Structures are given as structure tokens and as C-alpha cells.
Chains A and B, each alone.
Chain A
Amino acid sequence: MSDFPHTPPRFSATFSPAINAEIRRAAASGIYDIRGAGTKRHLPHFDDLLFLGASISRYPLEGYREKCTTDVWLGTRFAKKPIHLDIPVTIAGMSFGSLSGPAKEALGRGASEAGTSTTTGDGGMTEEERGHSKTLVYQVLPSRYGMNPDDLRRADCIEIVVGQGAKPGGGGMLLGQKITDRVAKMRNLPKGIDQRSSSRHPDWTGPDDLEIKILEIREITDWEKPIYVKVGGARPYYDTALAVKAGADVVVLDGMQGGTAATQDVFIEHVGMPILACIPLAVQALQDLGMHRKVQLIVSGGIRTGADVAKAMAMGADAVAIGTAALIALGDNDPKLEAEYQKLGTTADAYDDWHEGKDPAGITTQNPELFNRFDPVLGGRRLKNYLKVMTLEAQTIARACGKNSLHNLEPEDLCALTIEAAAMAGIPIAGTKWIPGKTGF
């Protein structure tokens, strides 16, 4: 043994402890990691954009005096009954099955009180949600679980789901432990089996078929309801253009940060584009077709604050949708439940095994013992508060930019902090006129 100092232990950046743990887990279990929530890696995001605010050349609106409107019309292109929301933050589609009945009720209560819509999800429409949602969007998914013409007609809008940001090109799954009698009955499947939702629609393939599918749904519902088409953030320019061509009233675009109830981790982390990169391409497609603001654009994927809402809208979105943030507002991942998260081998704010149905907050579960702990009235109130705060925050920013409507926010109100964000969002880097890939350096 020499007396020279040893090289201290050095971890590999490539084979980090986390990567090695995953290799060991895969080797022991023989199954890929399935989890809920969205991507956990760091991505260029709205945090990499800033608003410029007013100055001598642009004057602000008086914060507490001057009006700044937040309402939005959706479905004005073809629907006889377009919908009008008080705020541009909607609740994204989350399946009954992944969420408990009381959680669905709370989403309906909170959204309705705040003047916005909720969306069904895989597994069909529940009474909890229809009953408590003033404006309910009914999803038409590849699985068609629970699909029926009566629910199509009692919905306020219809959303054809082509993809989700967490898994563009992937189907769904609901593992056996969450398939209770009620869920099984709604989906017409045996109880307790792992339920797979297909990734492709059973009765159409490609944009020409989609156009005819939309025609059929319009005919069934007598052209009353707005029809949305939801796509995951994969090829947003073409997907937006094709959805418009197929006759959509509204395009819903979900970036890769978008949450999920249960998907392979490898899918969540490695497929799709960040929402920041998706929005400008979708807006460009709408502008190229002369359809910006005529076909409305709803964007989602990692939206958390009024600042995120304002930034998405400044980039050209008409509204946003939230999934994960709504669940957190209801009480998901609350440090108050830390002792129970510890028992599940995790910790508050990191709990993502939503597919296992053991959620101590009673939100992502079908176990009555757990979901009966959840108070839908209180949950609804919390969601309403949160939605109101987001709206106030977005208004604060819009007024500071001199805008009397959130919809008047524009790309010129923004600057970017990083080269990546500038390139993706098409916004110049702070202090320069430089947009990588667009303007000369």
C-alpha cells in the first residue's frame, strides 16, 4: 500500500446510481417501469421565457381599475352551439378509472365554479362528472370504452383523441388492480385484468378518414357541438394542418411534459417534443391556412402558473389545459401525507405510482377506503381557488404589458433566456434580436 491519497469514488455520468438502479430493477422484475405523471427530466419550458412589461413606448393598464378580459369562445367554426368559458384554463381529459369518482366530481365542481370546462377520458362519462360540470368535453378515444350516442348528445363538446403528449403513438393501460366492478362494467371487460387501450382508432386511419369520422359525429349530434381534435406533440405543424383540413373546430396540442395516468417511463421520457417547441409550429400552421383564432388552439403539458398561461397565450394559444396541476390542487402529493408516502416507498411531490391505485390522497384510486377520504366539495373549492389565482396572475402580466385581454398578448411581449428556448419558441434572446434558425447572428 502506498501512502499516496486514493482517488475518491467517482460516479459515472453515464452509469449514474439512478440508471444503475433501473437496470437492476429491470433485471429483477422483467417488466418496464410504468408510472403516472409527466416527464421528470429538465426541458426547455415556459420558465425560459420572460415578459418585457411596459415602458415609455408601451404603457400599462391600471392594475385594479382597467379591464383585462379572460373569456374565450371555443368552437366558432362549425358548431351551432360554440362554448363560452370565463377563463382560458380548462381541465384536461383524465379517465374515470385512473381517477376516482369523487376526484372527477371535484374537478367538475371546481371548474364550474371557476367558469371553465372539464373533460372525460378513457372509460367513458360518469354521472359525477356530467352532474357537476357545467361544460363537459366528451372524449372519443381509440378504445371507445363506454362510448354511446346518448353521452355524445349530453356532452357540450366532443374531443377526438389522436394522441397525448406523454405518449404520442402509444395506447393506454389501466392495470388490473384498478379494474373494479364499476370500471369493468363501464368498459365491458372482465374485472381485475390489465386493460389495454389501443393506440389507433378502430374505424379510421389517416386524415381523409378522420374527416369522414368528424362528419359522422357532427351528423349524430346535429352539428351542435364543437369538435376538438387532440394530438400529442410529435409533428404539430402537420397535425394541426390536417386536423383543420379534417374539419376540427378546436385543436388540442399536448406537449411531452403532459401527464398520464399510466405509461411506460421510457415513453414518457423519450418520445415527443416539449410544448415550447410545439406551439409556434401549430400557430404557424393555423396562420398559413388563414385559420388562426378561427380554429382555436388549446395547449397543455406542464402548465402550472398564470405566467405559463400568459406565455402560452402570447405565443398564440387561445386557451390552455391542465391535468397534473389540477390533481395537485385537489391534494395529490401533499407533504401532509408524508408518512403514507413513506410506507409506499416514496415521498410527497415524487409520488407517481398512480397506476397502482394506492393513492393516499384518494385521487388516483378505485379503492373506496382511499377515495372516501377525499372530500369532493373541499377539493372543488381548492381547484376553484387555484384556477382563479392562475387567472389573476395571467391578468396581472397582461395588464403590465398594456393588454386589455389575455388574447392580446403577443410574441413581442416576450424574450427568451436560453438559446434552446429562443430557437424552440421563436422568441429572441433577451437583449438581442436573435432567434436561432430564423434571424442572422
Chain B
Amino acid sequence: MQTFDLEAQGLRALNASLHALKGLTNQTAWEIINPKGSHAIAVGVDAPIEITVRGSTGYYCAGMNKQATIRVKGSAGPGVAENMMSGTVIVDGDASQYAGATGNGGLLVIKGNAASRCGISMKGIDIVVHGNIGHMSCFMAQSGNVVVLGDAGDALGDSLYEARLFVRGSVKSLGADCIEKEMRPEHLALLADLLKRGEADGKAKPEEFKRYGSARKLYNFNIDNASAY
């Protein structure tokens, strides 16, 4: 286990050391202490390593992650795991706005709540939130899956493309072109797997969720839908 004191050694040294691991696998466990809400912690990592951040992080922790498993033992600021490509990011506390924004792949797990715009413009990432998600979540979400054990705020899935949204609690309102959809066996199977990988299988059952998706009515412009835009 490598221990890195962020306060003493600085952000540049941290990310440079992590980037130097590309293609190497002999130093697989890293611990970052004294994060103290710093921004851009462990961004652009591209190695199958395990990183534990002991404390809360600022903006964009684990941004553009590839392969690594990054666990935040605290809460995460805006844009955690933004544009993630692969790997896993787990936040033990809450996450601020834009969690998992534009993510292309991998799994983001938030044990607490996620604020507004969770999963905005997501492009293939899977997101599991144990608590609630804020307003405008999954805006223009293109693909991937979002699982919310709690409630969703206003305008869920506005202008949604092909992402699948599963919410167990209430949805304050659905955004334009987002509708409730039938839960079929393949969705239940998918949910069971996501709950398991999202460390939430003891907390909820697939049957308790509702599925939301795109009505696909805004896919090609039609003047009679103008008020929906």
C-alpha cells in the first residue's frame, strides 16, 4: 500500500505518480490522506489500481477515470467521475452536482445522496445512488443506467435519449419526453446485477423500482411539439 499525503506532497505530484502507473500493475493499492476538499484528485488515471481517498474531495475527483477503483471515504464535490470511461468510483458520503456527468462507462456508486444534474449527458456509465437525486438529473442522458434507491427531484430525464432510469421512491416530476415504462424481466435482471455491484443488494429489491425512459417524441423536430422544447 502506497500512502500519499496530498497536503504535504501536492496535487501535481499525486496525479503525475498515478499517471506513471499506466501499463504497470505492481503498485495496486493507494491511499490518499489529507484530501481536504482539493479539486481534481486522481484524475485521468489509466491503470487497474485501487485508490482510497480518506476524506472529502472537491471538484472532479476521479475525472475521466479508466480502469481504477477509486473509493472516497467522505463526500465528493461537483463532477465526481465526470466523463469516466471504465473502472469503479464509490463515494461513501454524498455527491454534489453533475455526478457522473457525460460518463462513457464504468460504475459510479454514491452511498448518500446526489445533488442536481446527476448523470447529465451520460453516455454509457452506470450510476447507483443509495439516497436521493436532485433536479434535472439525467438531462439529455444518452445511454447507460441510473438506479436510485430514494427519490428523484424535478424534471427527471429531461430530453432523454436512450439511458434507462430506475427509481424506487417518488419522482417529483418527469422532464420533457421522459415517461414511465414497463418493467420487463430483462430489466429486473439488469437491476439485480446493478444493485449487487452497487453494494445495495441488501437494501432494495428490483421489484420495488419503476423504470423511466425516453418517449422518443423529440428525436426529430416537429413543430407541434414546440412547447415541449
A residues apposed to B, CB below 8 Å: 29-31, 143-144, 147-149, 152, 176, 187-190, 193-194, 196, 198, 202-204, 209, 212-213, 215-216, 219-223
Contact = CB atoms under 8 A, between A and B. Distances in A.
A242 to B, nearest CB: 18
Interface string B33-57: 0000001100110100000000000
26 contacts: A144-B83, A147-B102, A148-B64, A149-B66, A152-B44, A152-B64, A189-B142, A189-B162, A190-B162, A193-B220, A198-B140, A202-B101, A203-B79, A203-B102, A203-B120, A204-B78, A212-B59, A216-B39, A216-B43, A216-B59, A216-B60, A216-B79, A216-B82, A219-B15, A220-B40, A220-B63
B44 A220 contact: yes
A31 B223 contact: yes
Given A203-B101, A219-B15, 11 more contacts: A148-B104, A149-B44, A176-B220, A194-B221, A202-B82, A202-B120, A203-B98, A212-B40, A216-B60, A216-B63, A223-B12
Contact of A188 (B43, B66, B117, B124): B124
Contacts of B121: 143-144, 198, 202
Interface residues of B, number: 43
A55 to B, nearest CB: 54
A118 B143 CA distance: 30
A192 B139 CA distance: 20
Nearest to B80: A203
Interface of B: 11-12, 15-16, 19, 39-40, 43-44, 46, 58-60, 63-64, 66, 78-79, 82-83, 85, 97-98, 101-102, 104, 117, 120-121, 123-124, 139-140, 142-143, 159, 161-162, 219-221, 223-224
A385 to B, nearest CB: 39
A215 B39 contact: yes
Given A189-B161, A202-B98, A203-B82, A194 B124 contact: no
B76 to A, nearest CB: 13
B11 A149 contact: no
A147 B85 CA distance: 10
A338 to B, nearest CB: 31
A293 B224 CA distance: 51
Contacts of A196: 140, 159
Given A147-B102, A221-B44, A213 B219 contact: no
A215 B60 CA distance: 10
A184 B101 CA distance: 19
A147 B39 contact: no
A203 B97 CA distance: 8
Interface centre among B11, B16, B83, B223 (most CB of A within 10 A): B83
Interface centre among A29, A193, A219, A221 (most CB of B within 10 A): A219
A188 B44 contact: no
Contact of A149 (B40, B64, B221): B64
Contacts of B124: 188
Contacts of B39: 212, 215-216
Contacts of B58: 212
A198 B140 CA distance: 9
B60 A212 contact: yes
Contact of B59 (A148, A189, A190, A209): A209
Contact of A204 (B12, B66, B79, B221): B79
Interface centre among B12, B59, B159, B220 (most CB of A within 10 A): B59
A216 B142 CA distance: 24
A220 B15 CA distance: 8
Contacts of B19: 222
Nearest 3 Cβ contacts at the A-B interface:
A220-B44, A30-B223, A193-B219
A58 to B, nearest CB: 49
Contacts of B79: 203-204, 216
Contact of A220 (B43, B78, B101, B159): B43
Given A144-B121, A198-B121, A219 B162 contact: no
B64 A202 contact: no
Contacts of B15: 219-220, 222
Contacts of A202: 82, 98, 101-102, 117, 120-121, 139
Nearest to A220: B44
Contact of B142 (A176, A188, A203): A188
A144 B102 contact: yes
Contacts of A30: 223-224
A198 B142 CA distance: 13
Contacts of B219: 176, 190, 193-194
A187 B43 CA distance: 23
B221 to A, nearest CB: 5
Contacts of B224: 30
B28 to A, nearest CB: 20
Contact of B44 (A193, A194, A219): A219
A149 B62 CA distance: 12
B60 A148 contact: no
B74 to A, nearest CB: 18
A204 B78 CA distance: 8
Given A202-B121, A221-B44, A190 B161 contact: yes
